Structure 1
Amino acid sequence: MSHSIAITTCQTYPNLPENLQPLVRLLQANGLQVKVDCWQNQPQADVILPLCAWDYAQQPERFREWLQQAVEFGQKFANSVWLMDWNMHKSYLLDLQQMGVDVIPSQLLLADPTQIQTACQSYHQNGQVVVIKPAIGQSGNAVIKWQADQPIPDFSLYSGQQIVLQPYIAEVAEYGETSLIFFAGEFSHAVRRQPPKGEWRANSAYGVAILPVVPPQNIIRQARDVLMRLPEIPSYARVDGTIIGDRFLLNELELIEPALYLHTDPQASARFAQVLMQKITEI
């Protein structure tokens, strides 16, 4: 019997990016039926890969409902629904912090202007700049950098949400962010996302350069250690951090819809296809 896999896109960005086409061809060559559809259409397949669900942060509850309904219908995801649900909300950074992972120090707050200003004061009094992000967000949207001599930001854009407060890490603007990609817990490849001059956000929306890199083994070990602390090993993961000397400082852990930069390594698509084929055999 032929098995199927659905690579889900989204209504905002319905087309599959070109750099995933080699993966599609490899899966098809291995006898899989590959479907491409928006997650909002609730595609049916043996395994679902929500790799391009790039608008879920706009409808987080609807996305959660879809994940749960798909499981109730007996469908499997490449990464478990539990892991993805946990990864949707940036409170996961605080969980990892408690597990001993070297994370940018993070506070979770209600989006109350008075509470945010009070929390920021302790940073400003020490001469630090703060970064404020929505607890559920993607691609650097609604991320603010605030220093003491600047006007108070408009916090109304976070109305009804929670936010994450972090100190600004200047090394991100200088050295960029290193993204290490793992398949089934094994290191595959890495890129450095270098912001242009004058920019501090290492997100694709802000003109970053994507540069293939080979991180030192001690950096790979530190990034892999993040995954080893999870209750289960994800089929795919992108571990984003800033390298400061021999230290890998975790910025984000992406387990839902990360850009995997498969085009930057000639064997990356084959490695990922092999992991997905193994997932199919476990059904």
Structure 2
Amino acid sequence: MVPGIHPDDAHLAALLAQRGIEPVACIWNDPEVDWTAFDAVLMRSTWDYFKHYTAFCAWLERLPIPTINPGSLLRWNSDKRYLAELAALGVDIIPTTFTSASDLAGTLALTPGQEVVVKPTVSGTAWHTARGVVGEPAFEQTIAALPSAFQYLVQPFVPEVVSGGEWSLLFFDGNFSHAVIKRPAVGDYRVQSEFGGTAQRVEPPAALVESAGRALAAMATLGYTDIAYARVDGVLTRRGFLLMELEMIEPFLHLAVAPDAAERFAGQLWKRLAAGLPECRPV
């Protein structure tokens, strides 16, 4: 959890204030917060929710005000087993197997010698994530030490994450806004800044935007149509764009490198809030 307004959101907050919307940063699990004093919640840097998942879901259930991105969407997006639903609808994802902790060793044994990535289905920032070659003692030791309470996903390691980087495409109200390529530090595969990863704004090919858009369009089939903001993460391979995950709870929006995007998002938030709320003071 990052208290206060994160620097990447600072310009967005200032733009909202200019439009008469008072942004107030609150910590989601602070018992002293009176949520009824606000009109809506805009999730931003709740980057610890997966560590307190049961409490977070309970908080969403009892929250007395709406969230920007509806609560049902946030709950669906919080567990990466949604990838199976999207794959069933024809979305190209990294091949993924889901398994319980008790069956994890057996699942891995089906692919001896393969380099894989294992992580909880509810996670973030490479939390409890392991990469290694199935059958190698060091990797087997790492897998044995993973928490037993979680569900896990197993994916083949995609080398293009290192060689070409991971794409993040940002959409506001279903419209493409901007994109970045995230690259890991030398010798690593994790693209998060906590591990030395970097991000650079780039103009994606039209086909890449279309692929990302199809992933969001598939969600309409599942009944999720009111998506105020979304980040589509994936990697370009010889098979084309493969979806890694959708981020619609608290994605880092890369607004510091895209001030024009912050202006678009602020305008769309103002319209959304003004249409339903006469006096808007979103968190």
Go from structure 1 to structure 2 and tell me whether the alpha carbon gap of 1:159 and 1:149 turns closer, same or farther (over 3 Å shift).
Answer: closer
Secondary structure of residue in 2 paired with 1:38: coil
Give 1:134's aligned residue.
120
Partner of 1:250: 243
Specify whether residues 77 and 189 from structure 1 end up closer, same or farther in structure 2 by C-alpha distance, changes over 3 A only. same
Measured after TM superposition, the shift of residue 15 of structure 1 is 2.8
Report how far residue 202 of structure 1 moved: 1.9
Cα deviation, 1:121-144, whole Å, max 9, x if unaligned, reads 2222xx421111011111111110
What residue identity is the alignment partner of 2:247?
E
Percent identical pairs in the alignment equals 33
The alpha-carbon deviation at position 149 of structure 1 amounts to 5.0
Kept in 2, the 8 Å contact 1:123–1:167? The answer is no
Superposition RMSD in Å: 1.5
1:51 paired with 2:69, answer no
- Structure 2 unmatched ranges of 5 or more: 277-283
Q: CA deviation at 1:43?
A: 5.1
Residues 111 and 155, structure 1, Cα contact 8 Å, conserved in 2: no
Cα distance in 2 for residues equivalent to 1:246 and 1:262 = 30
Cross-structure match for 1:280: 273
* Residues 170-229 of structure 1: per-residue CA shift (max 9 Å, x gap): 111111100000000100000000111211122222111111111000100100111111
The residue that corresponds to 1:108 in the other structure is 98
From 191, 197, 201, the equivalent of 1:212 is 201
Q: Aligned ranges for residues 207-246 of structure 1 at < 5 Å?
A: 207-230=196-219, 231=223, 232-245=225-238
Specify the SS of the correspondent of 2:146. Answer: helix
Give TM-score, length-normalised by structure 2. 0.89
1:219/1:246 contact within 8 Å kept? no
How many residues were matched structurally?
Answer: 265
Given candidates 125, 148, 152, the residue that maps to 2:134 is 148
Paired with 1:33 and 1:108, the residues of 2 have a C-alpha distance of 42
User: Are residue 178 (structure 1) and residue 164 (structure 2) matched?
Assistant: no
Q: Larger RCO: Structure 1 or Structure 2 (Cα < 8 Å, ≥ 6 residues apart)? A: 2
Structure 1 residue ranges, 4+ long, deviating more than 3 angstroms after superposition: none
**SS class of match (2:177):** strand
Partner of residue 7, structure 2: 18
Question: Any conservation in 1 of the 2:74–2:249 contact (CA below 8 Å)?
Answer: yes
Give the superposition deviation at 1:116: 1.6
Q: What is the CA-CA distance between 1:86 and the residue it aligns to?
A: 0.5
Q: What's the TM-score once normalised by structure 1's chain length? A: 0.89
Tell me how far apart the structure 1 counterparts of residues 275 and 77 of structure 2 sit (CA, whole Å).
24
Q: Which amino acid aligns with 1:120?
A: L
Q: By how many angstroms is 1:17 displaced?
A: 1.4
